[in-house]
Amino acid sequence: MKKFFFLLIISLLFATSCNENNNVLVLKKKITYKVSGTATEMLITYVNENGETAMTGLSTVTIPWKIEFRAKADTYVYLQAKNTTALGDVKVEILQGNAVLFSDNNDLPYGAATCSGFVK
């Protein structure tokens, strides 16, 4: 009789653990791209949440600039800001949560600041 109950319990545990909807849980991390500086015009190039390269132009009205999205670990991230004028500086930062993963700055005329890497 003990053997019967043991086999019944084992078979029930096995049947309930074999669910068709067992999905692997993938945790995505909050990523923030930030651009700032004293340059009055910038050209921004970045890799978006879909892995596509995107570009946008900024002026004093839209500086500082930031965009947020969620990404899995080992996702490639890239951000570049190019000063399109002879004056001012540019600074770029890629944050994971509140921690700065990558950053760069440039104060040369028509200079560019670039940072890239992989989400941890």
Domains along the sequence of the chain with CATH: 23-118 (2.60.40)
Strand order in the sheet with 28-37: 65-72, 28-37, 90-96, 99-106
- pLDDT reported for residue 95: 98
Question: pTM for the full model?
Answer: 0.79
Per-residue pLDDT in tens (0 to 9) along the chain, 120 residues: 666 655 556 665 555 555 555 667 778 999 999 999 999 999 999 999 999 999 999 998 899 999 999 999 999 999 999 999 999 999 999 999 999 999 999 999 999 999 999 999
Burial of 27 (0-12, 13-18, 19+ CB in 10 A): exposed
Angle at Cα 92 formed by Cα 90 and Cα 97, nearest 5°?
155
